[in-house]
Amino acid sequence: SNEEALMLQNKDSGRERLKRHREEVAGRVLIPDKWGKEELLKDWIDYSSFDKLLAPSGLALARQALMGDGRRNGSQRLRIESMC
Amino acid sequence: MSSNKTIVWFRRDLRIDDNPALAAAVKDGSIFPVYIWCPKEEGQFYPGRVSRWWLKQSLAHLEQSLKSLGAELTLIKTESTLSALLDCINATGATKVVFNHLYDPVSLVRDHSIKEKLAEVGISVQSYNGDLLYEPWEIYDEKGQAFTTFNAYWDRCLNMKTEPISLLPPWRLVPAAGTVERCSVEDLGLENESEKSSNALLGRGWSPGWSNADKILTEFVEKQLINYSKNRLKVGGNSTSLLSPYLHFGELSVRKVFQCARMKQILWKREQNSQGEESVTLFLKAIGLREYSRYLCFNFPFTHERSLLSNLRYFPWHADTNHFKAWRQGRTGYPLVDAGMRELWATGWMHNRIRVIVSCFAVKFLLLPWKWGMKYFWDTLLDADLECDILGWQYISGSLPDGHELERLDSPEIQGSKFDPEGEYVRQWLPELARMPTEWIHHPWDAPLTVLKAAGVELGLNYPKPIIDIDTARERLTQAIFKMWETEAAAKAATSDGMNEEVFD
Ligand SMILES: Cc1cc2nc3c(=O)[nH]c(=O)nc-3n(C[C@H](O)[C@H](O)[C@H](O)COP(=O)(O)OP(=O)(O)OC[C@H]3O[C@@H](n4cnc5c(N)ncnc54)[C@H](O)[C@@H]3O)c2cc1C
Ligand SMILES: Nc1ncnc2c1ncn2[C@@H]1O[C@H](COP(=O)(O)O)[C@@H](O)[C@H]1O
Ligand SMILES: [Mg+2]
């Protein structure tokens, strides 16, 4: 369409903007000497809490239930028109 | 149209078109769209600064679109998602809640519990697939087992009988009346005062929001996709689609991306454009890896005895915070690694190849716990996505049968000469090396003093010496792997002793 053609010509497209942004910030990257994230990291150095997060209790049940739901409703998937 | 009122709970599906939950609710009557921000429930997966910035922009965008279609988005900040949903139900008299699935462990458990609690009070809950081409439980091998290699998995997906179908966007939304305590995007607190200046810079490079996602997709498919197979090998510049943050927040439907690429594939096949065809195949494979990340997390969760990262349980990590800091700051003395880490810090994004190189460096050279690396990525990536991130670390750490072996150690110097042969990428991100000749750019430690001098580089002063040399790194990695095997064997022996004791008891 016309609009699309215009957009494709547009120098200020997303990709161009990002490229310019990269050029602007490169070389001006401040490496914070006093790193602000040290505090946050302490939590993660303890693996047990991390593992608990990736494997919260009730996960097995939640998976089973979702699969069950999904299989029951699978056939009534919405089917409207395909588009691009 | 019936008079049903439905709460549409938006999460990581921040779009209007091909949104199954939204489409179902619209077909059914009036709707009450809501986004609930509950930092407490995010726990340690509280998103990092750049990811929250993206979310904020994307919500503002969605809010506008929903308004212009006739229904306002209610934003709620709360300590309990369930109670926020109940407030919405009470305020509107809705009898139904709909949402699209998420597959990360935290969301799975939360969503299940919410479904149960709502059912208890007589609310009907329907959830849909808005995030994937196929649900993780739809793809199994002949024996009904989950696949553990990507190619076999993806082959099966591409040969499924049912094709993924996209839904048209609604034209008009009928709002369900009701008032709850709501807030503005600003009030959600997604951005601290102290973060605003750094974030302003992000806004110059990136444009979040579903309609921007559509534009970027169109431009990519029309202009860059054809060269994807060639361009994706370049680590600098815009060589890939840059769609990952949009896909993470569901601003773009993966089905739509798939269909657009498929259309080109058909066209280029007819035109016998083999580069175009190969490009689409590889791009679809990238989309397939995103699907696979959800698939593996879902089918091999971390509680599972076949959990795919459990091979690392006995690895003797070097929990050295100084090394970790040098890695994060891009001060390891390996230019390609350092350039990548500075790009990440400055832009919130890195090319896949660079992600592989820096994560390998953290694990194989520095023996840093992979979870530290994953956490840092989580905090700094604009497209931070738990499942993709985990898949990436699995891939490099010997946790996948078709990924890198644990003992594989890639030299950043050689990787540099392959993927950044002119050294442009390094020079862009490491101004202290800007004047290094190409010959030495990826291994300045080997350069003659005169060369260093002429380039203004003083190793150990304005650019670090290598934090560890590759031979030492290789030796240490080998030792660590032996140690891991030993500890694992000892642990196994101990548990089988334990079992024997029980038996004899
Ligand atoms: C250690 C490590 C950590 C990673 N962490 C993340 C993360 O937090 N979030 C994230 O979205 N991706 C992550 N990736 C995957 C990949 O690097 C990015 O998706 C990709 O670089 C995004 O750029 P693009 O959109 O231009 O990709 P394209 O090459 O244009 O690919 C299109 C889309 O396919 C998907 N995709 C591509 N490659 C992969 C892959 N290897 N794994 C899973 N999905 C893929 C993404 O959704 C991407 O947007 C990680 C990879 C590694 C090795
Ligand atoms: N089997 C796999 N599992 C997970 N990630 C993969 C797999 N194969 C490829 N990848 C990712 O995709 C990237 C490109 O792969 P390749 O085209 O094989 O070089 C790799 O660098 C990985 O990040
Ligand atoms: Mg050398």
What are the structure tokens assigned to B485, written together?
Answer: 């095997």
Quick check: B342 and A41 CB within 8 A? no
Which among A8-17, B174-183, B268-277 has the top mean pLDDT?
B268-277
Calculate mean pLDDT across residues B406-430.
Answer: 95
Quick check: A4 and B109 CB within 8 A? no
Quick check: A53 and B216 CB within 8 A? no
pLDDT number for residue A84: 43
Query: B95 in ligand 2 pocket by Cβ < 6 Å?
Result: no
Top pLDDT among A84 and B132 is at B132
Burial pattern B44-62, b for ≥16 Cβ within 10 A else e, equals: ebebbbbbbbbbbbbbbbb
Quick check: A62 and B237 CB within 8 A? no
Q: How many CA atoms lie within 13 A of B158 on its CB side?
A: 13
- Three-state secondary-structure class, residue B470: helix
Three-class HEC string of B402-434: CCCCCCCCCCHHHHHHHHCCCCHHHHHHCHHHC
Question: Which amino acid is present at B146?
Answer: A
User: Among partner residues B301, B342, B372, which is closest to A59 by beta-carbon distance?
Assistant: B301
pLDDT number for residue B505: 32
Top pLDDT among B243 and B195 is at B243
Calculate mean pLDDT across residues A52-77.
Answer: 80
Query: Is A8 a residue whose pLDDT tops 50?
Result: no
What is the tens place of the pLDDT at every residue in B134-144? 999 999 999 99
Query: B148 in ligand 2 pocket by Cβ < 6 Å?
Result: no
pLDDT number for residue B2: 64
Measured on CA atoms in the order B243, B248, B250, B256, is the torsion positive or negative?
positive
Give the count of Cβ contacts less than 8 A between chain A and B. Answer: 177
Sheet holding B96-100, edge to edge: B74-77, B29-37, B4-10, B96-100, B124-128
Distance from residue B222's CA to the centre of ligand 2 (Å): 25
pLDDT number for residue B198: 78
* Residue B98 backbone phi and psi in degrees, to 5: -125, 150
Q: Where are the domains of chain B?
A: 1-130, 132-164+209-299, 311-470
What is the tens place of the pLDDT at every residue in B305-358? 566 667 788 899 998 989 998 999 999 999 999 999 999 988 899 999 999 999
Instruction: Give all strands (DSSP E) within B149-223, no chain letters.
Output: none
Cα B226 to Cα B223: distance, rounded to the nearest angstrom: 7
CATH 3.30.70.1280, domain B132-164+209-299, yes or no: no
User: Among partner residues B44, B112, B167, which is closest to A66 by beta-carbon distance?
Assistant: B112
Quick check: A54 and B302 CB within 8 A? yes
Calculate mean pLDDT across residues B461-478.
Answer: 97
* Residue B409 backbone phi and psi in degrees, to 5: -125, 110
pLDDT number for residue B194: 84
pLDDT number for residue B333: 98
Q: Which residues does chain B have within 8 Å of residue A36's beta carbon, measured at their own beta carbons?
A: none
For tokens 């303890």, the residue is: A46
pLDDT number for residue B197: 81
Three-class HEC string of B17-65: CCCHHHHHHHHHEEEEEEEEECHHHHHHHCCCHHHHHHHHHHHHHHHHH
Distance from residue B152's CA to the centre of ligand 2 (Å): 14
Distance from residue B262's CA to the centre of ligand 2 (Å): 21
Distance from CA of B166 to the nearest CA of A (A): 5
Cα B422 to Cα B405: distance, rounded to the nearest angstrom: 29
pLDDT number for residue B22: 97
pLDDT number for residue B504: 40
For ligand 1, residues with CB inside 6 Å are B 232, 240-244, 247-248, 286-287, 289-290, 293, 351-352, 355-356, 359, 377, 381, 383-385, 388-389, 391-393, 395
Number of residues in chain A:
84
Q: Which residues does chain B have within 8 Å of residue A73's beta carbon, measured at their own beta carbons?
A: 126
Calculate mean pLDDT across residues B99-118.
Answer: 95
Cβ-contact B166, B304 below 8 angstroms: no
Under CATH, what is the fold of the domain B311-470? DNA Cyclobutane Dipyrimidine Photolyase, subunit A; domain 3 (1.10.579)
CATH 3.40.50.620, domain B1-130, yes or no: yes
Q: Closest chain A residue to B41 measured between Cα atoms?
A: A53
- Within 8 A by CB and 6+ apart from B373, the residues are B327, B359, B362, B363, B393
Top pLDDT among B500 and B413 is at B413
Three-class HEC string of B97-138: EEEECCCCHHHHHHHHHHHHHHHHCCCEEEEECCCCCCCCCC
Ligand 1: nearest atom to the Cα of B391:
42
User: Among partner residues A15, A22, A74, which is closest to B347 by beta-carbon distance?
Assistant: A22
Calculate mean pLDDT across residues B385-414.
Answer: 93
Give residue A7's pLDDT band: very low, low, confident or very high (50, 70, 90).
Answer: very low
Give residue A76's pLDDT band: very low, low, confident or very high (50, 70, 90).
Answer: very low
Distance from residue A28's CA to the centre of ligand 3 (Å): 29
* Residue B295 backbone phi and psi in degrees, to 5: -60, -50
Query: Is A29 a residue whose pLDDT tops 70?
Result: no
Quick check: A40 and B379 CB within 8 A? yes
What is the tens place of the pLDDT at every residue in B230-282? 988 888 877 899 999 999 999 999 999 999 999 999 999 999 999 999 999 99
Cα B215 to Cα A8: distance, rounded to the nearest angstrom: 9
pLDDT number for residue B99: 98
**B227: how many CB neighbours lie within 10 A of its CB?**
13
Query: Is B286 a residue whose pLDDT tops 80?
Result: yes
Top pLDDT among A41 and B409 is at B409
Q: How many CA atoms lie within 13 A of B403 on its CB side?
A: 20
User: Among partner residues B259, B329, B369, which is closest to A31 by beta-carbon distance?
Assistant: B329
Cα B231 to Cα A53: distance, rounded to the nearest angstrom: 38
Distance from residue B1's CA to the centre of ligand 2 (Å): 47
Instruction: Give all strands (DSSP E) within B369-496, no chain letters.
Output: none
Query: Is A80 a residue whose pLDDT tops 50?
Result: no
CA-wise closest residue to B150 among B343, B355, B2, B308:
B308
Cβ-contact B83, B56 below 8 angstroms: no
